[in-house]
């Protein structure tokens, strides 16, 4: 359970939209100061009963002052603008709980085996099954790895609580995507439905917005850093993608969508950053050459609905795409030509938009299976096992969250293999950030961060997991700092 001071902060954050509606900067300053004062007060050692009484009275007073809480209009408008509402009842899904234990790995694109998924999974399972029940690491060498990580438990390692900084440059417009730069601790970017992208620097203090990238005429739906962080690619509802130089913020190239449709998502090919894959509102996936600004021959395919999510495996040979009708397609990617070959289709749930796909090739001595993390407007976060080299998926387990309409995203934690357990993080419509241990059969929740006043849409770790950024549907971006022990 979250600390009482954090629950108080969450109550304040949810009522924050009612304070000085014409001065959003004041609201940001208020929540920053409240966070600071509550953390200082928590060190005073007041009795738990007194803190809980304060929490209850605080909630009652705010309710009397501002009335009942209601969902922000901008948040609902955003969810409807990106994700089409589900056409069917959201039935409960049954998990394949044959083996709830899942093992983590330190995922890094340059060190992943390029062998068959099926062969690798079989080899890893064979090693794993030789271990005693409940064992996590299949080799003695992993003990040294665990020592490198500080030998902390998963709950201790992901005890994020304190707000490091709150960014409000996109206030009152949803921020659908926030991302730390690759292998970077202090560089952060976020895109907004106000049509801009902001580049932020967290060190030296105080954190600052370095520059604003402007040029899109409608909301920016997604963006991605290149491997070397020298460029960013962005997609927009104005039916264009833009290539930006991160050093000075200039737009290098504007590329119209081949179908003149709203662009909803994008991702770099992880090995060849000259190629970018985009998904649009006319159900198409296109491989684009950002140097020429042209579509790659044979690099297009049609899905059953609006393309909302894309993810490559680490070697860049498999691509998954999710649409707003509940389907996830896998494609074989030709590394030489950029050609896409449709391989498999999974219907996660008919009519439930797939809003996020995150791939992790857990190929290491501490791991078994390549996996996929999926959000699909089912009030669940879904974890799938990749069972062969065509991207076939098998549901491994799920975790309870609140998501029925907003385009919520989730991620694997970057450092996973050195500790017992493996952690995933997701946004949620309950205005919280949730941490789950994919290995625990019961009580998988590891942590919950409260402080947003609107549905949390995206989350991103820096490279060493010392900071976590989260963005919401009201435009607030919170950078959380790991709790100091």
- pTM for this structure? 0.78
The answer to whether residue 369 sits within a structural domain is yes
Across 52-78, average pLDDT: 67
The answer to whether residue 250 sits within a structural domain is yes
* Helix%, strand%, coil% for the chain, nearest 5: 20, 35, 45
The answer to whether residue 337 sits within a structural domain is yes
Q: What is the pLDDT of residue 25?
A: 60
The answer to whether residue 107 sits within a structural domain is no
The answer to whether residue 126 sits within a structural domain is no
The answer to whether residue 307 sits within a structural domain is yes
Please answer whether residues 78 and 406 qualify as being in contact, where contact means their C-beta atoms are separated by less than 8 angstroms: yes
Across 41-46, average pLDDT: 72
* Mean pLDDT rounded to a whole number for the chain: 81
The answer to whether residue 106 sits within a structural domain is no
| pLDDT one-digit tens code per residue, 239-268 | 999 999 999 999 999 999 999 999 999 999
Q: What is the pLDDT of residue 118?
A: 54
Q: Is residue 58's pLDDT more than 90? A: no
Quote the CA–CA distance of 79 and 74 in Å, as a whole number.
9
CATH of the domain at 397: 2.130.10.10
The answer to whether residue 76 sits within a structural domain is no
Total domains in the fold of the chain:
1
Question: What is the domain range of residue 357?
Answer: 155-482
Whether omega for the bond prior to residue 204 falls within 30 degrees of 0, making it cis, is yes
């Amino acid at each position: 359970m979250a600390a009482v001071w954090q629950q108080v902060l969450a109550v304040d954050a949810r009522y924050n939209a009612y304070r000085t509606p014409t001065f959003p900067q004041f609201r940001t300053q208020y929540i920053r100061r409240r966070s600071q004062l509550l953390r200082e007060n928590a060190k005073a050692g007041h009795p738990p009963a007194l803190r809980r009484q304060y929490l209850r009275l605080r909630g009652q007073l705010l309710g009397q002052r501002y009335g009942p809480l209601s969902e922000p209009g901008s948040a609902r408008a955003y969810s409807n603008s990106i994700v089409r509402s589900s056409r069917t009842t959201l039935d409960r899904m049954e998990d394949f709980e044959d083996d709830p234990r899942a093992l983590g790995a330190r995922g890094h694109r340059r060190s992943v085996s390029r062998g068959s998924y099926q062969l690798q999974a079989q080899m890893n399972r064979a090693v794993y099954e030789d271990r005693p029940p409940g064992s996590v690491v299949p080799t003695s060498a992993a003990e040294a790895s665990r020592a490198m990580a500080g030998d902390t438990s998963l709950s201790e390692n992901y005890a994020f609580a304190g707000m490091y900084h709150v960014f409000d440059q996109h206030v009152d417009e949803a921020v659908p995507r926030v991302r730390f730069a690759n292998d970077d601790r202090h560089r952060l970017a976020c895109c907004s439905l106000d049509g801009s992208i902001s580049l932020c620097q967290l060190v030296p203090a105080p954190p600052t917005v370095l520059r604003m990238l402007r040029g899109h005429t409608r909301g920016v739906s997604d963006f991605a850093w290149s491997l070397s962080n020298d460029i960013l690619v962005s997609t927009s509802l104005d039916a264009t993608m833009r290539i930006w130089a991160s050093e000075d913020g200039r737009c290098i190239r504007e590329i119209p969508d081949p179908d003149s449709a709203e662009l909803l998502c994008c991702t770099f090919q992880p090995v060849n950053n000259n190629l970018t894959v985009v998904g649009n509102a006319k159900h198409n996936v296109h491989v684009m050459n950002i140097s020429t600004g042209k579509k790659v021959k044979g690099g297009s395919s049609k899905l059953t609905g609006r393309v909302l999510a894309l993810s490559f495996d680490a070697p860049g040979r498999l691509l998954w795409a999710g649409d707003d009708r509940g389907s996830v397609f896998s494609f074989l990617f030709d590394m030489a030509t950029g050609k896409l070959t449709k391989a498999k289709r999974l219907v996660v749930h008919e009519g439930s938009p797939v809003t996020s796909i995150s791939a992790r090739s857990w190929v290491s001595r501490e791991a078994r299976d390549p996996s996929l993390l999926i959000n699909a407007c089912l009030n669940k976060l879904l974890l799938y096992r990749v069972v062969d080299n065509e991207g076939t998926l098998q549901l491994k387990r799920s975790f309870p969250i609140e998501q029925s309409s907003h385009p919520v995203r989730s991620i694997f934690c970057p450092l996973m293999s050195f500790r017992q357990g493996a952690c995933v993080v997701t946004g949620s419509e309950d205005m919280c950030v949730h941490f789950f241990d994919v290995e625990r059969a019961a009580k998988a929740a590891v942590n919950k961060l409260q402080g947003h006043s609107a549905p949390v849409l995206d989350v991103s770790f820096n490279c060493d997991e010392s900071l976590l950024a989260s963005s919401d549907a009201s435009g607030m971006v919170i950078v959380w700092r790991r709790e100091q022990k």
